[in-house]
């Protein structure tokens, strides 16, 4: 399940990059991506709890992907914030005209 969620996050990220002209769609895709990343994060935490702690290398790999998922969510949030800021600037310029 985690691989399917990861692949869907990747597809949504790529799709969001190519839809830079449609900002509202981009925000919705980023919000869905944030939700899927959170699901992926908690799925990894759930399975990490059930693994044997003797496999140190496997645990480090999972922790690396947990951190990667966390930073991905932070970057997606920052992207949404910047897109909304951009939309506000464009709307204010349109009001002046």
Q: How many domains does the chain have?
A: 1
* Distance between CA atoms of residues 65 and 22, nearest Å: 30
Which pTM value belongs to this model? Answer: 0.81
- pLDDT tens digits for range 4-61: 888 888 899 999 999 888 999 999 999 999 999 998 888 877 776 665 555 666 677 7
* Distance between CA atoms of residues 69 and 44, nearest Å: 10
Dihedral sign of CA atoms 32, 7, 1, 52 in order: negative
Domain span at residue 85? Answer: 2-96
């Amino acid at each position: 399940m985690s691989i399917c969620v990861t692949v869907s996050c990747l597809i949504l990220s790529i799709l969001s990059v190519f839809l830079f002209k449609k900002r509202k769609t981009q925000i919705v895709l980023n919000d869905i991506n944030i939700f899927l990343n959170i699901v992926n994060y908690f799925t990894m935490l759930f399975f990490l709890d059930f693994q044997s702690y003797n496999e140190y290398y496997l645990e480090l790999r999972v922790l690396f992907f947990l951190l990667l998922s966390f930073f991905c969510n932070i970057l997606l949030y920052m992207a949404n914030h910047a897109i909304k800021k951009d939309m506000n600037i464009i709307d204010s310029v349109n009001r002046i005209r």
